[in-house]
């Protein structure tokens, strides 16, 4: 039988529609560019600050145990999807090129509203 049909040929009907909190939103994609933010309303009247594009990263150096704000030059590769690197999309575990050297993003920028990264190798 066809999908969504009963064995008798009848149609299955939904018991109810989705409620507002069950409806999914459009995925937020954080791109490399001039910093742009948006305020969104959450459940319970909470106001969230969402990141849409940025060119600054909070870079942590494991050797010196210090962190600093650094400009992002380019997105080199993303293990999850190679096409995201071509579009300069900032996602978790993406390898980015900064002023200090290569770095790996350790957080989820679309969820948290900032970009955190660990320095992989330094420029000399």
- What is the per-residue pLDDT across 45-98, written as a single tens digit (0 to 9) for each? 899 888 999 999 999 999 999 999 999 999 999 999 999 999 999 999 999 999
Residue 9: what pLDDT? 87
Q: What is the pTM of this model?
A: 0.80
Class of domain 28-122: alpha beta
Contact 57, 96 (CB under 8 A): yes
pLDDT in tens, 19-30: 988 999 888 899
3-state secondary structure of 35: coil
User: Residue 29's closest CA among 91, 100, 81?
Assistant: 91
51 near 29, Cβ under 8 Å? no
Measuring CA to CA, which residue among 75, 37, 77 is closest to residue 54? 37
Would you state the torsion angle of the CA atoms of residues 73, 79, 85, 88, taken in this order, to the nearest 10 degrees?
A: -60
Long-range Cβ contacts of 74-77 (<8 Å, 24+ apart)? 74/32, 75/32, 76/102
Q: How crowded is the C-beta side of 110, counted as CA atoms within 13 Å?
A: 11
């Amino acid at each position: 039988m066809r999908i969504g049909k009963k064995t008798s040929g009848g149609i299955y009907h939904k018991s109810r529609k989705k409620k507002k909190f069950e409806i999914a939103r459009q995925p937020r994609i954080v791109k490399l560019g001039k910093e742009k933010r948006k305020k969104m309303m959450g459940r319970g009247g909470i106001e969230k600050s969402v990141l849409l594009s940025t060119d600054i990263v909070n870079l942590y150096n494991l050797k010196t145990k210090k962190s600093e704000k650094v400009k992002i030059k380019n997105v080199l590769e993303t293990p999850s999807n190679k096409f995201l690197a071509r579009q300069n999309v900032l996602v978790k575990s993406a390898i980015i090129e900064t002023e200090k050297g290569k770095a790996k993003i350790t957080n989820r920028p679309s969820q948290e509203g900032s970009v955190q990264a660990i320095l992989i190798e330094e420029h000399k």
